[in-house]
Amino acid sequence: MRCAADLPEINPWCYVRRPKTVARTLLPPSSLFPPGRSDVMLCFALKALIFGLLGSLLATTLRKTLMGLKQAQDALSILNAILMRWNGDRSVSIAHIHTWTRVRESILRNDVKNILDRYENVVVMYTCFALYFVTDASIQIVIRNRPPSLSAGYIVLLFIGFSLVCLRQACKISGSP
């Protein structure tokens, strides 16, 4: 048995009178930090540190993904500047347009495709995590008749937001003239 009746102060899980799942419910605030239990405070501090490190890792991944997706736009923006320069100089011919189109197709087929393939897995990962947590919340509501976890809702919004930001950046590439 996890909690002995004569020694409930040894185990922090013994403060709950009936079994509860920790992932779905919260303990009362008085039982979060029991007096004289420095190990609970240490575990809380370590958990906060771990969540902070994971959050910074996630933010770094998003930043590097966005930088990589912006890198795919550079070649197309240079090509657009060349076309605008030719248009400004009034020296655009059919040969210029044909050459510009062929170079643009080549860049889109080779460089941009490789860059998008490199960062595709990150965007898919964001979307898969969001779908997992949405499915979990649906199961909690429909099958188990429980309210969904608020932290899972926050994670869903976070991952959907990251997915949308990455997809928006990737769509700017294909939307270039």
How many angstroms separate the CA atoms of 177 and 175, rounded? Answer: 6
* Per-residue b or e along 81-96, where b marks 16 or more CB atoms closer than 10 Å to that residue's CB: eebeeeeeeeeeeeee
Examine the pLDDT at 117 and tell me if it is beyond 70. yes
Rounded to an integer, the average pLDDT of 144-164 is 80
pLDDT digits (tens, 9 = 90+) for 66-88: 888 788 777 778 888 888 888 88
More confident residue, 94 or 72: 94
pLDDT digits (tens, 9 = 90+) for 31-41: 666 666 677 77
More confident residue, 171 or 89: 89
How many angstroms separate the CA atoms of 107 and 80, rounded? Answer: 13
Domain ranges of the chain: 62-174
Rounded to an integer, the average pLDDT of 23-33 is 56
How many angstroms separate the CA atoms of 107 and 81, rounded? Answer: 15
For the chain, how are helix, strand and coil distributed in percent, rounded to 5?
75, 0, 25
Helices (H) and strands (E) in the chain, counts: 5, 0
How many angstroms separate the CA atoms of 132 and 126, rounded? Answer: 10
In total, the chain counts a number of residues equal to 177
Rounded to an integer, the average pLDDT of 5-31 is 55
pLDDT for position 28 = 58
Helix (H, G, I), strand (E, B) or coil at 56: helix
The model carries a pTM of 0.54
